[in-house]
Amino acid sequence: MQANFRHLPGVDKIISDPRLKEAGFPHDFLVEAVRAELDSARAKIMEGAAPATLDETVGAVLTRLEAESVNALRPVINASGVILHTNLGRSPLSREGIEAMAAVSSGYCNLEFDMENGARGSRHTYISRLVCRLTGAEAAIVVNNNASAVLLALTALCKRHEVIVSRSQAVEIGGGFRVPDVMRQSGAKLVEVGTTNCTYPADYEQAVTERTAALLRVHSSNFRVVGFTNEVSIEEMVQSAATRKLPVFDDIGSGCLIDTTQFGLAPEPLVQKSIAAGASLVCFSGDKLMGGPQAGIIAGKAEYIKILAKHPLVRAMRIDKMRLAALIITVQHYLKGEALQKIPVWQMISMPIDIIQGRANTWALAAGVKTSVVSGETMIGGGSLPGGSLPTCLLAVPGKRKDPAYIQNIAALLRNRSVPIVGRINENVLLLDPRTVPPEQDAIVIKALQDLVPVFKEAA
């Protein structure tokens, strides 16, 4: 075995190969890739493989370099049946939103420049005006994401003071992210009231002390409590807080601006309703049900927004010009009454079931007899409408009882295409949901299914 190790080419010999010199990579980058490939070759020898030749090693290094130089972040077709799929980037943007991002990123823009007087301006001015018009708020400010929005509000207004929250709302929303942890980072002290399933206005009122800075409501995000429960409405919270002259912060997360019940879904907290109820600050995400880019929007009373805007954290949390441009367009879609027609998330939610069934049937024809169209559910996802789903029609690719790896292989073949297609596997069946795939991507899905026909026939 030691002799086989000695047959491996040295680092200097590999780097001096003309093919690597012509590749145009920096010397240090080349050395790192060569050493990584030699480590891999030694591991293979330990497993009994023959030593790689110089040509094989150079070829492997070139492949490694090419893989590392390609943009690892690439478009994916989401056929998973989860509309707001956090792992796939949550909400896709409207065509106009994408165009706005491209326009401001290709050159300079008036991000913080007042065109009228030729002086420095604020990146929040225009978006604040639009958000206020949309929600009815007195003022608004935009930061990097909703976690930033909550952290900023608590840090600027509640540091070294108490914030009262229902015990049922001290939640973890995925990825180990916990609301109590955010509150601790802000320097505010969390005071939990009520029980896991029931909280009443009196629970908040009895917990108020001279150290209380605010009452906080937190959206349950990705779970719900059913059965014997009681929640305090935002109207009741505002009424309880008013007697003590305390602000109420409403972290509604999903950024819903359209009544979800018209689509057969459960009611989701509406930003406008919270503002109208008198919440002092309402924090919500831009890339969930709002259907825009990642952003954290804080809307509410001017006296509190003014304090937030002057806090040092705002600079660390500020939104960039590209996402700001897309957010402006997203808000304009709502103001123009075209959200259902222009924003992809709402296009998916409102898509008629007969249209979905027709598309699923077309996919099935392309795939052949080994597939079928079945009824199923599309999940909303993304910490919105916990447990909420919409009826859909799915393309079903059955697995093989004697070969559990078969359906995993089919799913991998779809994921490893030049444009990856991500489905979901349930009980040894691969399911592809047209509702979460824009119709203009149908041709790509159909081509992928046609390419799999030989695999389906072989398995028959």
The residue among 453, 401, 98, 146 whose CA lies nearest residue 296 is 146
Q: With contact defined as beta carbons under 8 Å apart, do 121 and 114 qualify?
A: yes
| pLDDT on residue 441 | 97
Instruction: Give burial (CB, 10 Å; 0-12/13-18/19+) of 340.
Output: middle
- The DSSP 8-state label assigned to residue 318 in this structure reads B
- The DSSP 8-state label assigned to residue 83 in this structure reads E
How far is the C-alpha of 453 from the C-alpha of 448, rounded, in Å? 9
**CA-only gyration radius of the chain, Å:** 27
| pLDDT on residue 172 | 66
How far is the C-alpha of 61 from the C-alpha of 236, rounded, in Å? 65
How far is the C-alpha of 84 from the C-alpha of 281, rounded, in Å? 25
Q: With contact defined as beta carbons under 8 Å apart, do 226 and 175 qualify?
A: no
Domains and CATH numbers, the chain: 2-69 (no CATH), 77-84+346-459 (3.90.1150.180), 93-342 (3.40.640.10)
How far is the C-alpha of 72 from the C-alpha of 208, rounded, in Å? 51
3-state secondary structure of 429: strand
The residue among 130, 52, 121, 71 whose CA lies nearest residue 295 is 130
DSSP string, 140-179: EEEESSHHHHHHHHHHHHHTTSEEEEEGGG--B-STT-BH
Here the contacts of 336-342 (C-beta below 8 Å, separation 24 or greater) are: 339/257, 339/258, 339/291, 340/258, 342/94, 342/95, 342/96
Angle among Cα 157, 183, 82 to the nearest 5 degrees reads 115
Return averaged pLDDT per consecutive 10 residues of the chain, 460 residues in all.
Answer: 71 85 82 87 83 85 78 89 94 97 94 89 93 98 94 95 87 65 84 86 91 90 66 92 94 93 93 97 96 97 97 94 97 98 98 97 89 95 79 94 86 93 95 97 96 79
* Token representation of residue 90: 């949550």
| pLDDT on residue 236 | 94
Give phi and psi for 42, each to the nearest 5. Answer: -65, -40
Q: What residues are paired with 426 via a beta bridge?
A: 429
* Token representation of residue 126: 């225009």
pTM attached to this predicted model: 0.86
Strands 421-422 and 281-285: unpaired
DSSP string, 179-248: HHHHHHHHTPEEEEES-SSB--HHHHHHH--TTEEEEEEE--TT----SS-B---HHHHHHHHHTTT--E
* Token representation of residue 435: 């509702």
Give phi and psi for 143, each to the nearest 5. Answer: -125, -170
How far is the C-alpha of 384 from the C-alpha of 265, rounded, in Å? 11
